[in-house]
């Protein structure tokens, strides 16, 4: 097949058309609109960087950015720690290995919206009734403060995503050369030593993959945020994706919301490009 053949273009036509109309055109239009006073119907006048300048003074946007960053950092650490621990458990010589994998992975198949609702019940009702039964004041009124909302989201995401990250670590752990580990065992290396000096360095690429997957997933979070806290109390647990949505469809500030969306894109793209860079560098080293 050559690029000047008709068949080449026919094979590509459906996806090219869809990608152009669904991603490329809206992205370019969005970039253009972010420099105007667009209201969704009329383009309005050209305002230069005004929308972008405004958003650096927009406390609600900056708060959501800060909340999202804090949430992502804490979640990435916890999810990877739990995910790796689960992977180490299910790859050891135990009988229930496959049953455990199935269980830990299960939350990933269910939509974030539904999981958020389930956890809303747990935080509001179960926590309250257990707290009352054992006399723990700290279990009362969860999700009604910024702090409990934050930890509620972290718990929900750790529970959901740890199984996903576990699957990635398993793929690397099971790819380890068995002879190497056995040799170390024969040489008298302890479990901790084997992990520290043999498994850990060989599984290092899995860290890069998992870290960035969790970072980009948590940074772009919307569904769980909507169903668990809906941004409350007083928008204090609102993450960037939700803030952009509300700016556009609640306040109807389309051009302004689009400027936020472009900044959001830049942050997400930078995260992804850093990952590509790290991977490339590692490949060169190897």
Q: Does 152 bind another protein (CB under 8 A)?
A: no
Q: Residues 83, 152, 163, 231: which binds another protein (CB under 8 A)?
A: 163
Q: Does 35 bind another protein (CB under 8 A)?
A: no
**Candidate ranges 53-61, 62-70, 96-104, 194-202; the one touching another protein (CB under 8 A):** 96-104
Q: Residues 47, 79, 153, 168: which binds another protein (CB under 8 A)?
A: 168
Q: For another protein, which is the closer residue by CB, 150 or 172?
A: 172
Say if residues 70 and 237 touch (Cβ distance below 8 Å).
no
Residue that is written with structure tokens 């090219």 in the block: 16
- Binding residues among 196-215 for another protein as defined by CB under 8 A: 209, 213
Q: Does 37 bind another protein (CB under 8 A)?
A: no
Q: For another protein, which is the closer residue by CB, 2 or 57?
A: 2
Smallest gap from Cβ 249 to another protein, in A, equals: 8
- Binding residues among 225-244 for another protein as defined by CB under 8 A: 226-227, 240-241, 244
Q: Does 195 bind another protein (CB under 8 A)?
A: no
Q: Residues 78, 181, 189, 268: which binds another protein (CB under 8 A)?
A: 268
- Binding residues among 2-21 for another protein as defined by CB under 8 A: 2-3, 5, 7-8, 11-12, 14-16, 18-19, 21
Q: Does 190 bind another protein (CB under 8 A)?
A: no
Q: Does 178 bind another protein (CB under 8 A)?
A: no
- Binding residues among 127-146 for another protein as defined by CB under 8 A: 129-130
Say if residues 96 and 231 touch (Cβ distance below 8 Å).
no
- Count of residues that bind another protein according to CB under 8 A: 90
Smallest gap from Cβ 50 to another protein, in A, equals: 17
Q: Does 183 bind another protein (CB under 8 A)?
A: no
Cα distance between residue 31 and residue 152, in whole Å: 35
Smallest gap from Cβ 53 to another protein, in A, equals: 19
Q: Does 26 bind another protein (CB under 8 A)?
A: yes
DSSP collapsed to 3 states, the chain: CCCCCHHHHHHHHHHHHHHHHHHHHHHHHHHHHCCECCCCCCCCCECCCHHHHHHCCCHHHHHHHHHHHHHHHHHHHHHHHHHHHHHHHHCCCCCCHHHHHHHHHHHHHCCHHHHHHHHHHHHHHHHHHHHHHHCCHHHCCCCCCHHHHHHHHHHHHHHHHHHHHHHHHHHHHCCCCHHHHHHHHHCCCCHHHHHHHHHHHHHHHHHHHHHHHHHHHHHCCCHHHHHHCCCCCCCCCCCHHHHHHHHHHCCCCHHHHHHHHHHHHHHHHHHHHHHHHHHHHHHHHC
């Amino acid at each position: 097949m050559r690029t000047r053949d008709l068949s080449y273009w026919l094979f590509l036509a459906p996806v090219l058309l869809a990608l152009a109309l669904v991603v490329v055109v809206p992205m370019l239009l969005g970039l253009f609109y972010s420099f105007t006073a667009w209201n969704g119907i009329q383009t309005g006048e050209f305002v230069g960087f005004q929308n972008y300048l405004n958003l650096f003074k927009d406390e609600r946007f900056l708060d959501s950015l800060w909340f999202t960053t804090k949430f992502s950092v804490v979640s990435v650490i916890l999810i990877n720690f739990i995910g790796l621990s689960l992977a180490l458990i299910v790859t050891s010589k135990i009988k229930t290995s496959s049953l455990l994998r199935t269980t830990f992975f299960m939350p990933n198949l269910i939509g974030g919206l539904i999981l958020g609702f389930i956890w809303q019940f747990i935080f509001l009702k179960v926590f309250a009734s257990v707290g009352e039964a054992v006399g723990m004041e700290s279990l009362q009124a969860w999700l009604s403060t910024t702090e409990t909302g934050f930890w509620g989201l972290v718990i929900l995401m750790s529970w959901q995503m740890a199984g996903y990250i576990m699957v990635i670590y398993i793929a690397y752990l099971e790819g380890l050369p068995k002879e190497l580990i056995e040799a170390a065992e024969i040489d008298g290396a302890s479990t901790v030593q084997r992990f520290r000096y043999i498994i850990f360095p060989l599984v290092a690429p899995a860290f890069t993959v998992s870290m960035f997957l969790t970072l980009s997933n948590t940074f772009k979070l919307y569904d769980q945020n909507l169903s668990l806290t809906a941004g409350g109390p007083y928008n204090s647990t609102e993450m960037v994706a939700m803030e952009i949505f509300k700016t556009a469809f609640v306040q109807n500030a389309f051009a302004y919301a689009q400027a936020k969306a472009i900044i959001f894109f830049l942050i997400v793209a930078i995260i992804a490009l850093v990952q590509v860079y790290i991977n490339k560098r590692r490949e060169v080293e190897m």
